[in-house]
Structure 1
Amino acid sequence: MAKDRRRPRLQEIGDEPDYRFTLANERTFLAWIRTALSLLAGGVAVVQFLPDLGPRPQRLLLGFILVAIALALAASAYRRWFRVERAMRLSQALPASLMPLMLSLGVAVVIGVSVVLMLSDV
């Protein structure tokens, strides 16, 4: 008889955690997604609706930085949710995440570029 080589579904791993922790993990996932959507909207707004901020190439740079951060957050949010859910099911320590560092550094870069754009217009 052939072996079943499929990867086990998350619900088949370990023990069911307290539903409150699962819901908290889901809320955190949704917060990362909301943050990504906000950054995406900010990137579009900078490029399309703020002509006084600076020349178009500089606005494009700022907008692309915002969109890149949004993409990175959205792309890694599910992976983080899955890793935390799996750790809870296996009664393991929660995995570390680079997402807060990535978001902080990205926003710091956006702030720096924004300040340069604002001061270059003075």
Structure 2
Amino acid sequence: MRKALIFILTAIMLLMTACSSGGDKIKLTGGYVIWKTDSRTVICGRDNDGVVENVVGDYVTEYRYGDRYIFVKCADVPEDPEKQIDFSAVTYYIIDTADGKTQGPLDEKVFDEVCTRIEAKNMTDWRKTK
């Protein structure tokens, strides 16, 4: 009886301390995802059978996507973990899911110019990652 109890308790402990799910993933168009791995890392990448290939490694604060394009807004994350993330200074990236090319980092003016030129269609509203 004692061995069974030890076995059950060990099994419960193993289940409760198993590996985490690897963070939150939000599916986008073209096999891309927004992946929050921890409090200081939110990336946009391509999901290849569960392995995420990093495309935009900055801290993604907002995103929107449509039939072909993904737009991401990013904040600067200092290397020093004691320093706060600066959410006021943002850069933009544009991912073309048809050819896999990424433009960025872009400032807001250049981002708006490129968006007008590419005529992105069926885009969602901006969505926050946090």
Q: What's the TM-score, normalizing by structure 2?
A: 0.23
Higher RCO, 1 vs 2 (CA within 8 Å, ≥6 residues apart): 1
Higher percent of residues as strand: 2
Q: What's the TM-score, normalizing by structure 1?
A: 0.24
